[in-house]
Chain A
Amino acid sequence: EVKLVESGGGLVKPGGSLRLSCAASGFTFNNAWMSWARQAPGKGLEWVGRIKSKTDGGTTDYAAPVKGRLTISRDDSKNTLYLQMNSLKTEDTAVYYCTTDLRHWGQGTLVTVSS
């Protein structure tokens, strides 16, 4: 069974940083392309970005609103996906979901950016 467990969410001030983690199990993590998506309170889903498997180059793609501020990385030895969030803005407030490239979803972790 695919299992994705996000952690690291919380309250952070505008301009601050936060790192989210996603512990994966139940599938061959190092072969998987992984993505992050988010959902602001009461709003729709927004794609954040994706990282390919290392065998497919390990490259990343990002949505325009987060490019240059949010960075996706992976540690295949730990079966863990990361989202490094810098220069956070109030509009980054959302539940952040880890996905196996949008086919399986975690339960999400809430990030609140507020002074």
Chain B
Amino acid sequence: QAVVTQEPSLTVSPGGTVTLTCGSSTGAVTSSHYPYWFQQKPGQAPRTLIYDTSIKHSWIPARFSGSLLGGKAALTLSGAQPEDEAEYYCLLSYSGARVFGGGTKLTVL
């Protein structure tokens, strides 16, 4: 089974910009992996931020965006808010199977 890798932790200043990445043990991440990004706060269910690399639900703030960057999937947060402090997970698809990354704990400080 493929392994999906994320930064264990990142810190961003309020109003700052941070990019989280999602890599694959099988090689470069492409749009054919249909990358997803999820946000989870303590005690809450996850919520989907991004799917199919860069598509967002209408209720997701514009400061979140998804892309492919340097062979990885990327989630960029531009203008971080205190309420963005959370765990962020990515997921990649491999011919029917899906694999979550280990998560990135984002601190806004």
User: A residues within 8 Å of B by Cβ?
Assistant: 35, 37, 44-47, 50, 61-64, 97, 102-108
Contacts and interface: CB of A to CB of B under 8 A. Distances in A.
Interface of B: 1, 36, 38, 40, 45-48, 51, 57, 87, 89, 91, 96-103
A63 B48 CA distance: 20
Q: Would you list the 3 A-B pairs with minimal beta carbon distance, nearest first?
A: A61-B96, A47-B98, A45-B100
13 contacts: A37-B100, A44-B101, A50-B98, A61-B96, A61-B97, A64-B1, A97-B45, A102-B38, A102-B48, A102-B51, A105-B45, A106-B45, A108-B45
Given A44-B100, A44-B103, A45-B100, A103 B1 contact: no
A106 B46 CA distance: 9
B55 to A, nearest CB: 9
Contacts, number: 51
Contacts of A108: 45
A103 B48 contact: yes
Q: Is the interface of B mostly helix, strand, loop or mixed?
A: strand
Given A102-B51, A103-B51, A103-B57, A47 B100 contact: yes
B101 to A, nearest CB: 8
A47 B91 contact: yes
Interface centre among B38, B97, B98, B103, by most chain A C-beta atoms within 10 angstroms, is B98
Contact of B45 (A50, A63, A107): A107
Contacts of B40: 45
A61 B102 CA distance: 21
B46 A97 contact: yes
Contacts of B46: 37, 45, 97, 105
B5 to A, nearest CB: 12
Contact of A45 (B51, B57, B103): B103
Given A62-B97, A108-B45, 5 more contacts: A44-B101, A45-B40, A47-B91, A63-B97, A105-B46
B99 to A, nearest CB: 6
